[in-house]
Chains A and B, each alone.
Chain A
Amino acid sequence: MTTAGSTTSASGAAPAPVGPPSAAAAAPPSYLAAQRGILSWLFTLDHKRIGVMYLVSVLTFFFIGGLLAVVLRLELMTAKGDLLSADVYNKLFTLHGAIMIFVFIIPSIPASLGNILLPLMIGAKDVAFPRLNLLSYWIYLVGSIFLLYSILAGAMDTGWTFYTPYSTQTGTAVISATLGVFILGFSSILTGLNFIVTIHKLRAPGLTWMRLPLFLWATYATAIIQVLATPVLAITLLLLVAERVLGIGIFDPAMGGDPVLYQHFFWFYSHPAVYIMILPAFGIISEIISVHSRKPIFGYRAIAFSSLAIALLSFLVWGHHMFVSGQSELAGMLFSFLTFTVAVPTAIKVFSWVATLYKGSIQLTTAMLYALVFLFTFTIGGLTGLFLGSLTTDIHLHDTYFVVAHFHYVMMGGTVVAFLGGLHHWWPKFTGRMFSERWGRLGAALVFIGFNGTFFPQFILGAQGMPRRYHSYNLVAPDQLPLFELLHRLSSLGSHVLTIAFLIMAGYLLHSLFLGQRAPANPWGGATLEWQTASPPPTQNFVDDPVCSHGPYDFSDDPPATSAAAG
């Protein structure tokens, strides 16, 4: 919250006139300057302010989760467990996972960037249900507090998946953590619901579905998953709590239950959930690549509909998490096949982005660099997913560092990199300030180096048989110990480069808030509606209700970008 407050004061210094209606003829005050004080943030109904609060919150949790990861990597620099005890290590990786998944990455792009951008991009004044929007932020806070409380209550050591029967027996704080995740689910559902209705009902005149920015197509597909998959997680966690408290016996084999049933329940949500995480990232990449190469996106419709296809397929592949859990062979084969079909719409996107770059006038801005990093790392992450989706190779690779590396290439090399790209792309719009491009490019380069340095060795580790979630590995494969230790050290070294990259980023972004150059309304020459209003936008978003007269990636110079509605 304090950072949000400082954002206010930063822009409060701007000479934006506040108050007297005589100034109505001049530009209205920006949303940052319209009101002051912490309460004006906590009780705001303005989607942009709510988005900023989400942004500050998710970045805070990213910082906490990242610190935990750095500690884990420190422990693994040596083969013996000499920094942390095994118990503490188990708790730390559980917390790292739970925090990163549930309070950082799921809300990261939709709830922060999406909240701010969605109404701006469709030329609306707000989302359809502003009070519901604020409520979902509060619910998010309450859920986060439950999750953080579990740290004080002794943390939990189940891994972020809460697999039974261990999660019903361990003496750690499973209940407060699962209740926290349960509550966070409501926040996600309500945000998704709000976004679907907003996109359906609040588009500006002329903004047809085929003129919708691809970020919004992605957000829309995400919102469908949020609304239709998250309730299954809710019921799963309720049943888990009931199992733990009452022992109702449906997951615990000692009482006649089936632990694989829990896994089915859990992954029925949690597999679609990885598309909640990655789809908005696809949307951001579509925007950045088109705008920063000054070229209309290649295959607009294909990209738009492939988002919907991924959302649909995401519900049909959960079983690939249980290839070795005792699922039937037939089910394994079907899930393996369906998993491969996800590669089709995903590849359509990647090829369309590359085709957009072809003969474009590529500008190597910070945002564009992140998009290029994304293309590289996400492609590796996506393709290694096929190794894990194949039944035979998965038997060898499952529960090894190969899985860890694949997951991080998709989630961090994909979602987080795209999130950072989007943050830089829209930073001038959100804050009204330009950051230092030079430092920004340095940061992006360090993220690329640090990320690959951290996670590429883990592919090799996994393929050589290093199991995941081990706190010491001196006894795993004594003949391979030198190799394991070398690769683990490389990986840890990479995590330190990443840390430096993030510190640099925090430095120049904070600097820009106070001392950055004032941003023009449209610094990158974007053609979508959010660039047609001031940076930062006024509370009402647009001075005159916008009318959309062209597609989102129409960069021809002549058209009247936006004509104000006839007054």
Chain B
Amino acid sequence: MSKPTGDQAPLLQQPFLQHHFHSAAQQEASAKLGMWLFLAQELVFFGGIFLAYGAVRYFYPETMLSAHEHLSVPMGALNTAVLITSSLTMALAVHAAQRGALRALRRNLLLTVALAGAFLVVKYVEYAHKFHDGLLAGNYLTAHGMLDDDQGARLQQAFRLRASPEQVHFRFDARYPVTREALLRAFGAHKMPVRAITRADAALTVSEPQLAHARAFNGALDDPAVWGSQAGSNTFAVTFAGKPHIFFGLYFAMTALHGLHVLIGMLLLGWVWRRAGRGDFSRAYFTPVENVGLYWHLVDLIWIFLFPLLYLVR
């Protein structure tokens, strides 16, 4: 049974058998075990961020409840359906590979890639909406998109300062009066609970280093001249209730990590699709299809947990 020593040409009947394996079965078992171990470490990896989610939910349950209202359940549900369907087409692809049906294999792989793409498109639409609203991670959360049209047109800057990271400062064009009550109404209309809102004109003096740390959504704040010329005019400091900046920090961290995995999955699916077209796979050898399938099911599974945890908080 032992192979002759030295560098022999690969055995023709098993074109993808590497030299250090004795048999195709040994190679396949190794590849499978390797993939399962990889999935195990993926689970621990995502487990870490789920743990962070759990801790934040434990610290700030009201924030979870109120901030999740800004996520679109129909969009999330649509994406859940898309991903579950893609798991089906992936399973069909593996089944086709087992039967040696290469045309069906390629068709199902292509369908899976298309569904993955659809998932990312929906995600893009959701992200774009959050960017528009200013519902971003941490220091970048300003919620400036929730102002009404008039206020929005007059808004010059919205930013947080390092010295008071929990407050968002809104600076309006000094020529138009904007009232506290109008701001409250605008945020209230968008279910963005506000804990405190003060005129910051007098209180707010911004030093150079603070300026450097301030996060401006339009970049204009980086220019000290802009600030200096209008300092003290028509500025409000808003403290939102709860910690929405943490919720959206987690939302973006979790969904972006998952989205990255979807993207990598698409590349892997494309690679397997190309190999299938080249005729690499047969009933005797289709390990890469199975392993990419395992990976894809895991990506799907993680979303199955993300969707209720982020979108369906009760």
Contact assessment for B249 and A242 in the assembled complex, using a CB-CB cutoff below 8 Å? yes
A234 interface residue (CB < 8 Å to B): yes
**Could you tell me if B45 and A248 are in contact, using CB atoms closer than 8 angstroms?**
no
A322 to chain B, nearest CB (A): 15
B137 touching A196, Cβ below 8 Å: no
- Report B161-190 residues with CB < 8 Å from chain A CB: 165-166
Given that A124-B20, A235-B45 are known contacts, is A246 also in contact with B140, CB under 8 Å in the complex?
yes
Contact status A197-B41, CB under 8 Å? no
Q: How far is the CB of A247 from chain B (nearest CB, A)?
A: 4
B146 CB, min distance to chain A CBs, angstroms: 20
Any B CB within 8 A of the CB of A12: no
Residue of A nearest to B4 (CB): A567
Cβ contacts under 8 Å, A242 to chain B = 137-138, 249, 253
Query: Does A338 have its Cβ within 8 Å of any Cβ on chain B?
Result: no
A194 to B246, CA, bound (A): 37
Q: How far apart sit A28 and B6, CA to CA, in the bound complex (Å)?
A: 8
Contacts of A255 in B (CB 8 A): 138, 165-166, 243, 245-246
Q: Would B55 and A250 count as touching, CB distance under 8 A?
A: yes
Give the shortest distance, in Å, between B144 (CB) and chain A (any CB): 17
Which residues of the partner chain A approach B249 to less than 8 Å between Cβ atoms? 242, 246-250
B residues within 8 A CB of A129?
A: 30, 34
**Contacting residues, chain A, for B48 (C-beta < 8 A):** 231-232, 234-236, 265, 268
Q: Is the interface of A mostly helix, strand, loop or mixed?
A: helix
Q: Which residues on B sit within 8 Å (CB–CB) of A265?
A: 48, 51-52
Inter-chain contact B6/A21, CB cutoff 8 Å: yes
> Contacts A248-B253, A249-B243, A250-B55 given: A566-B2 contact, CB under 8 Å?
yes
A12 to chain B, nearest CB (A): 20
Q: Establish whether residues B34 and A197, one from each chain, have CB atoms under 8 Å apart when the complex forms.
A: yes
Taking the closest CB of chain B, its distance from the CB of A197, in whole angstroms, is 5
Cβ of A238 under 8 Å from chain B: yes
- On whether A261 and B37 interact (CB within 8 A), knowing A201-B30, A249-B245, the answer reads no
Option from A197, A236, A238, A261 in Cβ contact (under 8 Å) with B30: A197
Q: Are B245 and A125 in contact (CB under 8 A)?
A: no
Q: Let me know if B125 is at the binding interface, CB within 8 A.
A: no
Least Cβ–Cβ distance between B275 and chain A, in angstroms: 16
Across the two chains, which residue of chain B brings its CB closest to A223? B37
Q: Render B143-154 as a binary contact track against A, CB cut-off 8 A, 1 for contact.
A: 000000000000
Q: Which residues of A contact B40 (CB under 8 A)?
A: 227-228
Complex: how many Å from CA A236 to CA B55?
14
Most chain B beta-carbon contacts within 10 A, residue among A28, A125, A248? A248
Q: Is B59 an interface residue (CB 8 A)?
A: yes
- CA A207 – CA B108 in complex, angstroms? 43
Q: Which one of A125, A236, A256 contacts B20 once the chains associate, using CB atoms below 8 Å?
A: A125
Q: Tell whether A246 pairs with B19 under 8 Å between CB atoms, given A255-B165, A256-B60.
A: no
Near A by CB (< 8 A), chain B positions 119-143 give 136-140
Q: How far is the CB of A200 from chain B (nearest CB, A)?
A: 6
Chain A residue with Cβ nearest B160: A247
B49 adjacent to A256 (CB under 8 Å): no
A202 and B30: CB pair below 8 A?
A: yes
Q: Tell whether A257 is near chain B: CB-to-CB under 8 Å.
A: yes
Residue of B nearest to A193 (CB): B37
Q: Which residues of B contact A544 (CB under 8 A)?
A: 2, 5
- A128 to chain B: closest residue by CB: B30
Nearest-Cβ distance from residue A402 to partner chain B, whole angstroms: 31
Instruction: Report if B29 contacts A (CB, 8 A).
Output: yes
| Contact string against A for B residues 35-53, beta-carbon threshold 8 Å, 1 for contact and 0 otherwise | 0011011101111110110
* A201 proximity list for chain B (CB < 8 A): 26, 29-30, 33
Cα distance, A452 to B24, chains bound together (Å): 53
The distance from the CB of A312 to the nearest CB of chain B, in whole angstroms, is: 15
The reply on B56 being an interface residue by CB < 8 A is: yes
Interface flag for B250 (CB, 8 Å): yes
Interface string of B228-257 (1 = CB under 8 A from A): 000000000000000101100110110001
Closest 5 CB pairs of A and B: A248-B249, A235-B48, A231-B45, A247-B139, A247-B138
**Which residues of A are interface residues toward B (Cβ below 8 A)?**
21, 24, 28, 119, 124-126, 128-130, 132, 189, 193-194, 196-198, 200-202, 227-232, 234-236, 238-239, 242-243, 246-250, 252, 254-258, 261, 265, 268, 540, 543-545, 565-567
Having A249-B138, A249-B165, A567-B4, one finds 4 other A-B pairs with CB under 8 Å, namely A201-B30, A202-B21, A255-B165, A545-B3
- Which residues of B does A touch, CB under 8 Å? 1-6, 18-21, 26, 29-30, 33-34, 37-38, 40-42, 44-49, 51-52, 55-56, 59-60, 136-140, 160, 165-166, 243, 245-246, 249-250, 252-253, 257
